[in-house]
Amino acid sequence: MLPVFIENYKEDTRNGVQAAVAQAKKRIEKLEAERARIEVLKKYEYEYAEYTYICGIDEAGRGPLAGPVAAGAVILPKDCDILYINDSKKLSAAKREALYDEIMEKAVAVGVGLVGPQRIDEINILQATYEAMREAIRNLGVVPDILLNDAVTIPEVSIPQVPIIKGDAKSISIGAASIIAKVTRDRLMAEYDELMPEYGFASNKGYGSAEHIAAIKKYGASPIHRMTFIKNFI
């Protein structure tokens, strides 16, 4: 409706109307710039367009002291029209939540994998991340033809893989996967906060903030802490 509004009122000399027209033009310019950015973000999806199901893979939660590591797997439609997808760390929490809902609605398939703290302690965080990624792929419901991964090559996966350094900022599929993984994990940490409010999980998401470390020293480890990560604090 913005182009119609601009066309209808561009000759109107009232100051308020001209201010509204100028604002409408800026909104259109921003929208066109975002569409151009998203088009660049589809570079790898175009490069591997001969594959029917292109799946982006990313993780969230490798660094925290508590909670699971989460992986997201997302297959977007070829004509994906979702704007504002980016590396989840570059988005506000509100924007991630909105994009999560849109991705879940429009994606061909979405899979999530979670590996808990005890398993992380048992096999180490890297192997746990791979395990979460394999689980996310299994939970897709559709078998991907190719995987676009954020930086890693996942062991024990027969599907062709393309590791892309900083892929969550270079591939729309990986960016979507990063949002799914991040929002899934953040929501889970907020639920843990209701059960164990003394650790501040809703705000720190399990990461090693000063307040979180102080809580560990005061209250000891919770059932969701990674013992191999907090051995210096208890």
Q: How far apart are CA 42 and CA 233, in angstroms?
A: 44
Q: How far apart are CA 16 and CA 21, in angstroms?
A: 9
Question: Shortest CA distance to 108 belongs to which of 148, 154, 143?
Answer: 143
Q: How far apart are CA 211 and CA 177, in angstroms?
A: 30
Q: How far apart are CA 48 and CA 43, in angstroms?
A: 9
Name the DSSP letter for residue 198: G
Q: What is the pLDDT of residues 8-58, one digit of tens each?
A: 777 778 888 888 878 878 888 898 999 999 999 999 999 999 999 999 999
Give me the pLDDT at residue 29, please: 87
- Split at pLDDT 50, 70, 90, the class of 151 is very high
Give me the pLDDT at residue 77, please: 97
Q: Report helix, strand or coil for 131.
A: helix
Q: How far apart are CA 185 and CA 59, in angstroms?
A: 10
- For 82: left if phi > 0, alpha if psi spans -120 to 50, otherwise beta; the answer is beta
Give me the pLDDT at residue 45, please: 98
* Amino acid letter, residue 17: V
The pTM score is 0.90
Name the DSSP letter for residue 107: -
Give me the pLDDT at residue 20, please: 84
Mean pLDDT of the chain: 95
Q: How far apart are CA 160 and CA 145, in angstroms?
A: 7
Q: What is the pLDDT of residues 44-85, one digit of tens each?
A: 999 999 999 999 999 999 999 999 999 999 999 999 999 999
Q: How far apart are CA 150 and CA 170, in angstroms?
A: 9
